[in-house]
Homo-oligomer: A and B are copies of this chain.
Amino acid sequence: MTKKMFASDNNSGIHPAIMEAIVQANDGHVPAYGSDLHTAAAIKKFKEHFGGESEVEFVFNGTGANVTGLKAMVRSHQAIICTDGAHINSDEGGAAEGVIGGKLLTVPSADGKLTVSGIEQHLHNIGNQQRSQPKAVSISQCTELGTVYTIEEIKEITSYAHANGLYVHMDGARLSNAAAHLGCSLAEMTVDAGIDMLAFGGTKNGLMMGEAVVCFNKELASELKYIRKQGMQLGSKMRFLAAQFERLLTDDLWLDNARHANGMAGLLAEGLMEFEGISLTQPVESNAVFASLPKEQIERLQEKHSFAVWNEEENEIRLVTSFDTSKEDVESLLGDVRKSFS
């Protein structure tokens, strides 16, 4: 038995069914760069979930998916509005600025969600040649704080954005977890809710690696493949990225994995709430639990468990579950929390 970590869902490995798909795709020679049958089949699966008009491009990682999609939407003299904690702003090494050359206009957010009034505050200088011109909004579903936009919240943002000439991008690195939480389809939260461009995450949901740029706006689709290539995100043995997605989107594997991870986070949250001295700092709506607990308990837990201290000053930690987190893993952690208080 291998100890599981709560540091991130990318500490987990490859789901067995995905691994099997990789192994089976390893059959002889096939054309490179996406002209193979696995890529065609995977794109077909995406169209089943997101509608037949979707344009799909597979890329290597989440930063690649976000920046490729955003670069199709904004030019360097334009700006992207997002929360200050957005992954594209905080954890992608300046890729958006470096690859696109544009500016991120950030909005502080306590729960990770962007709001219409947050967007609005950055629209005062439309037409002012001395300011980067907002052209896109980017939201994360789930957010970086584990919260989930309702479909209504998303529609409110897309309506406002479109009315103001802004495209809407969604960082869906954990989109499946959001669907599991909302009990809705992938399309309902995205294309049906007015999203123009999606980064659909696979790596955090059981893939070895692989994300998909899914474009719902025809005017943005035609140049995606060139942007992907210049952004160094075109894989040659594409079938091995595609085969993973083909399998993930078959027989609800994407949903089962996400439901399981969410369920484990729920279990963990329930357990933690029983301790006086521990409080949840965000609602638990996906596969992440944010909690504050005394510094001493944090330190004792760190001896046996791996997780992130999210905010050192506030003794806030982040615990992330995965498709392969087991009840035993959760109970083991909770047991050590118990010991830390004794």
Pull 9 A–B residue pairs with CB atoms less than 8 Å apart, ordered by A.
A13-B27, A19-B26, A26-B208, A92-B230, A93-B131, A94-B101, A98-B230, A99-B101, A232-B232
Q: Shortest beta-carbon distance, A33 to chain B, in Å? A: 7
Closest to A4 in B: B29
Looking at A26, A62, A67, the one whose CB has the most chain B CB atoms below 10 A away is A26
Number of copies of this protein chain within its complex? 4
Residue among A2, A62, A234 with max Cβ neighbours from chain B (10 Å) = A234
In the complex, chain B residues whose CB is within 8 Å of the CB of A223: 75, 77
Of B94, B208, B230, which is within 8 A of A95 by CB?
B230
Task: List, in ascending order, chain B residues with CB within 8 A of A93's CB.
Answer: 77, 129-132, 226, 229-230, 234
Q: Which of A37-96 contact B (CB under 8 A)?
A: 60-64, 67, 75-79, 90-95
Beta-carbon nearest neighbor of A208 in chain B? B240
Which A residues are closer than 8 A to B by beta carbons? 2-5, 7-8, 10-14, 19, 22-23, 25-33, 60-64, 67, 75-79, 90-95, 97-99, 101-103, 129-133, 203, 208-209, 223, 225-237, 239-240, 306, 322, 324
| A134 shortest CB reach to chain B, Å | 11
Q: Give bound CA distance, A209 to B208, whole Å.
A: 11
Whether the Cβ atoms of A13 and B237 lie closer than 8 Å is yes
Query: Taking A76-B98, A77-B226, A209-B237 as contacts, is the C-beta distance between A232 and B61 under 8 angstroms?
Result: yes
